[in-house]
Structure 1
Amino acid sequence: MNAQLRREQDLAYEASLAEDRAKVAAREAQQRSAALVAEQLAKDAKRKEDLKKAHINRKRIWQSRLPPPPKFEEGSTVQLSFKMPRGSRVSRVFNLNDSIKLLYYFVLSQDDSPTEFEVQSNFPKRIIPCQPFEESDVEDYIDTPDNKMDCDEPEVITDWSRKCQNDPPSFFNIGLTRPEMLFVLNKDA
């Protein structure tokens, strides 16, 4: 009888111990899972903040790299106006022989420019293919130890002629030769 009671107590103890171990293991698994979720949320928040800073860096860089507009001269320049997505308007004079990537960077450098946009003309209604091939991703503007985004000494770009096959065409070649209103469309909207 004592031996059987002892066995029952040992079995009850083992069962209780196994149950306690299972609870501890479940608690540890839950804590690991919560830590992984918290780590992922922190990474996502950092990435969002990095992208926000990258958009600001990109805008600042291009604000400092654009040359002043040329003087208006009939036949060699064009005055274009832009209606931004929030309703504001800006305008600039462009050389007809410059690549329309200058138009892209001009719009990009505006304070109320959307992060992703297209430029549209109304007559004829079409999207102006002004985004440069090399302007592929805002991630190129993330400030990292290997990639310092320094805008303190801007290098103004003065030659906006078409350099290669991938460059957008000139204002003249695409037909932007007369004053007109272009519309900036927010691709993120």
Structure 2
Amino acid sequence: AARSERIARSLTQTIRREQDAAYMESLRADQEKERKRHEEQERKRKLEEFEQQRRHEEQLKKEAIRRAKIDLASEIPEEPPSNLPDTLSVVFKMPSGERIERRFFKTHTLKDIYNFIFCHPSSPDSFEIATNFPKRTL
């Protein structure tokens, strides 16, 4: 009887150790899942925060460009009549394919031309002025 009790106790202890080990393994697996879930949530939160910041900065940039176009519009010199001497006619080709022709006095600066293009409604927010021949960026 004592021997069968020892065997039963030993068997019970073995079963308990196996159950404890299985429980601990399950607990570790659950903790690992929870850690990964938390990391994924944190990654998504940071990504959303980054995207929101990027959208906000883009909106601020667009607003600054809009204000700059309004401010610079008042600095654009009047177009001289075609019959005046010392004028030149410049043709601009916009990215949309639209062609814009405008006269300037020869004394007008490149900045005046840039401001005219920048403030035009079909102008992109950033651009370069280039000549056709010889091909170069001004």
Q: What is the TM-score normalised by the length of structure 1?
A: 0.55
CA spacing shift, 1:84–1:13, aligned 2, 3 Å: closer
Higher relative contact order (Cα pairs below 8 Å, separated by 6+ residues): 1
How far 1:107 moved relative to its partner? 1.1
Residue 35 (structure 1) aligns with: 45
User: How many angstroms apart in 2 are the aligned matches of 1:86 and 1:6?
Assistant: 78
Q: Kindly provide the amino acid, as one letter, of the partner of residue 74 in structure 1.
A: P
Residue 63 (structure 1) aligns with: 73
Q: Does 1:127 find its partner at 2:136?
A: yes
CA spacing shift, 1:99–1:20, aligned 2, 3 Å: same
Q: Does 1:10 find its partner at 2:11?
A: no
User: How many angstroms apart in 2 are the aligned matches of 1:85 and 1:25?
Assistant: 51
**Which of 47, 55, 58 is residue 45 of structure 1 equivalent to?**
55
- Residues 131-150 of structure 1 correspond to what in structure 2 (within 5 A)? none
How far 1:8 moved relative to its partner? 2.4
Residue 92 (structure 1) aligns with: 102
How far 1:71 moved relative to its partner? 5.1
Q: Kindly provide the amino acid, as one letter, of the partner of residue 99 in structure 1.
A: T
CA spacing shift, 1:55–1:27, aligned 2, 3 Å: same
Q: Return 5+ residue gaps in structure 2 as ranges.
A: 1-9
Name the count of aligned residue pairs: 127
How far 1:64 moved relative to its partner? 2.7
Moved more, 21-30 or 7-16: 7-16
User: How many angstroms apart in 2 are the aligned matches of 1:83 and 1:7?
Assistant: 82
Work out whether residues 73 and 119 of structure 2, in 8 Å CA contact, stay in contact via their aligned partners in 1.
yes
Residue 160 (structure 1) aligns with: none
Residue 74 (structure 1) aligns with: 85
SS in 1 for 2:135: strand
CA spacing shift, 1:128–1:74, aligned 2, 3 Å: farther
CA spacing shift, 1:21–1:128, aligned 2, 3 Å: closer
Q: What is the TM-score normalised by the length of structure 2?
A: 0.71
How far 1:32 moved relative to its partner? 1.0
Higher gyration radius (CA): 2
Which structure features the higher share of helix residues? 2
How far 1:128 moved relative to its partner? 5.5
How far 1:19 moved relative to its partner? 1.6
**Aligned alpha-carbon RMSD (Å):** 2.5
Q: Return 5+ residue gaps in structure 1 as ranges.
A: 130-189
